[in-house]
């Protein structure tokens, strides 16, 4: 066995209604609660906030995190935490609130300069106690050491360090029951991309990340269409939430690659939801990678589509791509970049933006150059 390192991620609390017990996981002092306006409006945070306030704990509520959160939002959250002298942070919502909460907790505890920690492994201080609670089954952000922030000029930049890993993650399937079908589909397929890219990552792929990626893909592929068609199915919602978390732990150790690298510019430039951005680029990047990753794609094919069991490796690998495409169609997701406002005139800019994602591109099974990226966007158009 070749040597490898593996971080298991946050302690996990899972179950129906588990979000009401967050107060048991953090210190008694003031807490910063980071979320977005829609989560608050829908009442998803009510039980969590009530539980936190039991016993008189002071809560600093920040509910203005936007999709593709900006540096200005992050700085506002940190300022809110400092002004209230918080002793812990809760990130509650989708990937955006959780990403902001992770980095805010770190900055509040370490007092590091943000511009000194962009990139991989540069954040080495100690953040405040942090609990993350996902309200979608997709991003896996509650499990990962990565926070992505949008800078002026629509550039997405990340901090990746084990110092950002939450102390606890809380998986409460009841929080996901009211998700609209488009969000359920996009976030669920986002998690599937996490598992696939972790399984084929050119760097740090290891036996434990492989086990988690395969189980994550089994849970996600087996339940995605069920939760789209029967949104109140708590068992299926629970399976999706656990699958997304396992995929998060997997790609926290074996990082994602080309699909994400080409998806990020779509979010930055056109504000396409992250999961949908991944879906739009997924079949094209997997096709581009086929020469390098065919044996691994073949191993994953029957997990997504059991009908591929027993076929040759080439048929299984091609079947994986087709099964993912078919699943996205059945889930009702757009299939082309033109469906989300991208035109041929935008392709050069998108390709140039993708080349900035060096942290991700280096993990792809084969190199993606500028011209390759442009051709992939053109194929997706």
Let me know: does 258 contact 289? Beta carbons within 8 Å.
yes
> Residue 68: helix, strand or coil by DSSP?
coil
C-alpha distances in Å from residue 56, one per residue of 30, 86, 117: 10, 14, 36
Q: Are strands 168-171 and 130-134 parallel, antiparallel or unpaired?
A: parallel
* Structure tokens given for 265: 């510019």
Render pLDDT for 10-31 as a digit per residue (tens, 0 to 9): 999 999 999 999 999 999 999 9
- Residue 71's pLDDT band (cuts 50, 70, 90): very high
Going by C-alpha positions, the residue among 282, 115, 313 that lies closest to residue 189 is 282
Question: Given this model, what pLDDT does residue 178 score?
Answer: 86
Half-sphere exposure of 291 (CA within 13 A, CB side): 3
Question: What does DSSP assign to residue 121?
Answer: S
Query: Which residues lie across from 168 on neighbouring strands?
Result: 11, 131
Domains and CATH numbers, the chain: 11-175 (3.40.50.1970), 179-380 (1.20.1090.10)
- Say what percent of the chain tops pLDDT 70: 100
For residue 228, pLDDT beyond 80 = yes
Work out the number of other CB atoms within 10 angstroms of the CB of residue 42: 13
* Structure tokens given for 139: 């991003």
Question: Given this model, what pLDDT does residue 79 score?
Answer: 97
Render pLDDT for 244-302 as a digit per residue (tens, 0 to 9): 999 999 999 999 999 999 999 998 889 898 899 999 999 999 999 999 999 999 999 99
Complete edge-to-edge strand list for the sheet that includes strand 130-134: 11-14, 168-171, 130-134, 88-93, 31-34, 59-62
> Residue 152: helix, strand or coil by DSSP?
coil
For residue 55, pLDDT beyond 80 = no
Q: What is the pTM for the complete model shown?
A: 0.94
For residue 344, pLDDT beyond 90 = yes
Question: What does DSSP assign to residue 65?
Answer: P
């Amino acid at each position: 066995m070749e040597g490898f390192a593996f971080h298991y991620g946050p302690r996990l609390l899972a179950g129906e209604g588990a979000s009401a017990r967050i107060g048991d996981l953090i210190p008694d002092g003031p807490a910063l609660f980071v979320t977005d306006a829609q989560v608050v409006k829908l009442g998803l945070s009510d039980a969590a906030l009530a539980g936190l306030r039991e016993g008189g704990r002071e809560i600093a509520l920040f509910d203005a995190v936007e999709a593709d959160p900006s540096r200005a939002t992050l700085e506002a959250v940190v300022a809110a935490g400092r002004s209230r002298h918080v002793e812990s942070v809760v990130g509650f919502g989708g990937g955006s609130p959780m990403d902001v909460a992770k980095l805010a907790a770190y900055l509040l505890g370490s007092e590091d300069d943000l511009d000194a920690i962009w990139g991989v492994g540069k954040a080495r201080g100690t953040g405040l106690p942090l609990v993350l609670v996902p309200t979608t089954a997709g991003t896996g952000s509650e499990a990962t050491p990565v926070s992505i922030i949008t800078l002026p000029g629509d550039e997405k930049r990340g901090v990746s360090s084990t110092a950002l890993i939450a102390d606890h993650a809380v998986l409460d399937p009841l929080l996901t029951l009211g998700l609209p079908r488009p969000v359920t589909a996009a976030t669920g397929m986002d998690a599937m991309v996490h598992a696939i890219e972790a399984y084929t990552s050119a760097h740090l792929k290891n036996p434990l990340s492989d086990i988690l990626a395969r189980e994550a893909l089994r849970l996600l592929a087996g339940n995605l269409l069920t939760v789209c068609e029967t949104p109140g199915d708590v068992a299926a919602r629970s399976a999706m939430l656990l699958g997304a978390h396992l995929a998060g732990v997997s790609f926290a150790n074996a990082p994602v690659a080309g699909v994400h690298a080409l998806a990020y510019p779509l979010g930055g430039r056109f504000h396409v939801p992250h999961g949908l951005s991944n879906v739009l680029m997924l079949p094209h990047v997997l096709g581009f990678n086929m020469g390098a990753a065919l044996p691994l794609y073949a191993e994953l094919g029957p997990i997504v589509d059991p009908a591929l069991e027993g076929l040759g490796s080439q048929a299984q690998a091609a079947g994986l791509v087709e099964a993912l495409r078919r699943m996205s169609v059945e889930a009702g997701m757009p299939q082309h970049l033109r469906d989300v406002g991208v035109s041929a005139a935008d392709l050069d800019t998108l390709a140039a933006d993708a080349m900035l994602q060096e942290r991700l591109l280096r993990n792809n099974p084969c190199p993606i150059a500028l011209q390759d990226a442009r051709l992939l966007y053109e194929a997706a158009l």
